[in-house]
Amino acid sequence: MAGKRDYYEILGVSKDADEGTIKKAYRKLAKKYHPDSNRDNAEAEQRFKEVTEAYGVLGDPEKKKLYDRFGHAAFEQGSAGAQEGSGRWAQNGRGSGDFREFHFEGSDMDDLFGDLFGTMFRGGSEKQRYRTDGSGFGNRAFSEKGADLSADVTVSFEEAAFGCEKRLDFRDRDGRTSSLQVHIPAGIEDGRSIRLKGKGMAGRNGGRAGDLLLKVTVGKKAGFERNGMDLYTSVTIPFVTAALGGEAEVPTLNGRVMCRIAPGTQSGSRIRLKGKGIVSMKQPGVYGDLYVTVQIRVPKNLTPQAKQKLKEFEAACSGNGSCGAA
C-alpha cells in the first residue's frame, strides 16, 4: 500500500472525527466528484474512487479500528492487522476446523448513494466475505463491483432526432466477439453518454457487473444546425415574393412544408415554426422549434422589359417615399 494517501486526509477530517462527521464529509465529496457530474474528467474520477475507498474503511467501525492501529497495512494479506482482524472476526464465525468463512454486511453505501443521486444507485447491499485458515493469515475475498466500460457510437442527425436501435460488436481479451443491441433515445445530443447498467465487466466474488458508458457522436446534416431542441435552417425566396408576399417551401426533418411569407419580408428575417424542432428526451411529446432565416434571390440577366418595369417600380416608390421603408 506504499504511496497511498491517508484516508482521513482524503475525506478532510481529523482522526478523532465521529461517525456523523465522517459520513457528512463523504456525502459532500462524493457528490462533488461523482462521474455523472464530471463527464470526461479523469482527475475527478480518481478523486471519487479515493473518496469511496476511504469511506469504505472509515465508515465501518471494525475496519476503522484496524486502520487506526495499523494503517493501510491492516488490509494487506499476511499483515499483523489482517491476522488480528481474522482472529476478531473468527469469534463471530460459523463452522469448525481450520477453515472458516464469515459474512458481514457492508457499510450503508446504497443508502448514501440513494440520498445523493436518487434511485439510479439503489440496490441490495452487497455482502463481503472474509476467510481465514488455521495459520492465522487472512485471505480477503471481498465482493467487488465490476469495472465500468466505455465505448463510442456514431449516429446520423436523423437517428439522433427520432431515436434508433444500434448493434454494437465487442471483442474481449481472448478474441471472442459478442454483440449488444442498444436503444438510442430520440432527442439525444452530440457528446452525451448513455449508461447501460450491468453491461460492463463482471463483478468479483458475487459482486454486481459494472456499467457500460456509451458516448454518442451525432453526425451533421446539410442545411440544418441544432441548438438543444431547436433547429435552424434557411430558405431562399424570389424578390417578388418578398415584396408582395406569398408562400415558400421550407425543409423540415419530417419533409417539406409550405410557409407563409408576409409582404415586405426583408432578407435575413427569421420565421419561427413552432413544434418543428427536436423532441425532448425527458418529456416525449414536447418539441423544440424550427427557425427559418429568409434569403432573397435577386434576379440576374434581366431583359430590357424587366429592367424598364423595375425603373417604373423605383419611380413609383420614390414618388410616395415607400421604397426602402421597413
Task: Fold for 149-218, please state it.
Answer: HSP40/DNAj peptide-binding domain (2.60.260)
Is the pLDDT at 156 greater than 50, yes or no? yes
Is the pLDDT at 165 greater than 60, yes or no? yes
Q: How far apart, in whole angstroms, are the C-alpha atoms of residue 267 and residue 238?
A: 11
Closest CA relative to residue 13, chosen from 4, 24, 2, 3: 24
Per the model's pLDDT, the better-predicted residue between 239 and 110 turns out to be 239
Q: 131-152 burial, b if ≥16 CB within 10 A, otherwise e?
A: ebeeeeebebebbebbebbebe
The vertex-102 CA angle with 97 and 107, nearest 5°, equals 165
Are both 7-140 and 149-218 of the same fold?
no
Q: What is the pLDDT of residue 76?
A: 66
Q: What is the pLDDT of residue 310?
A: 82
> Do 108 and 93 touch, CB atoms closer than 8 A?
no
Mean pLDDT of the chain: 78
Which CATH code, of 3.40.640.10, 1.20.1090.10, 2.60.260.20, 2.40.50.140, is assigned to 225-320?
2.60.260.20
Q: What is the pLDDT of residue 320?
A: 61
Is the pLDDT at 6 greater than 60, yes or no? yes
The residue extents of the domains of the chain are 7-140, 149-218, 225-320
**Stretch 7-17: mean pLDDT:** 93
pLDDT band at 221 (very low <50, low <70, confident <90, very high): very high
Q: Residue type for 161, please?
A: A
Does CATH number 1.10.287.110 belong to domain 7-140?
A: yes
Is the pLDDT at 81 greater than 80, yes or no? no
Per the model's pLDDT, the better-predicted residue between 164 and 307 turns out to be 164
